[in-house]
Amino acid sequence: MPPEPNVKTSPSPRVIVAAVIITDGRVLACQRSAPPEAAGKWEFPGGKVEPGETEEAALARECAEELGVRVAVGDRVGPDVPLAHGRAVLRVYAAALLDGDVPEALEHTSMRWLAVDQLNSVPWLPADKPIVAELPALL
């Protein structure tokens, strides 16, 4: 059926997936290099889900591209966080490094493993704050 006239439809939000990678009680935080308004801020590795790609595949691809590692994708962490006035949504998953793989900052300015008492030691992207709030229970 064609949509009713005068009923506004909004496209479904673009999904950005990101990974909470925890090793030995520390979480991997990555410092963005771009764009200028986000450069210097900290985030979880990840990126946009491409058309036809599952969220799990997108997360594995982004971890390979950005960190050079293979991961096993686990449970969701925190809520869906709206981005860009609702045009996108940030969806975070726990991810475990596959044995022996060591992350490298291939696209980020730098990378740190943060313990629970260091979670607030970096300026996170604003959308990440509700995710960071969930981490003490996981670390």
The neighbour count for residue 74, using CB atoms within 10 Å, is 14
- Give residues 37-96 in contact with ligand 8DG (rule: CB under 6 A): 38, 43-44, 46-48, 83, 90
Q: Rounded to whole angstroms, how far apart are CA atoms 37 and 15? A: 20
Q: Which stretch binds ligand 8DG (CB under 6 A): 20-28, 98-106, 108-116, 121-129?
A: 121-129
Instruction: Assess 97 for contact with ligand 8DG (CB under 6 A).
Output: no
Q: Which stretch binds ligand 8DG (CB under 6 A): 71-79, 94-102, 111-119, 123-131?
A: 123-131
In the complex, which residues of this chain contact ligand 8DG (CB under 6 A)? Answer: 16, 18, 38, 43-44, 46-48, 83, 90, 125, 127-128
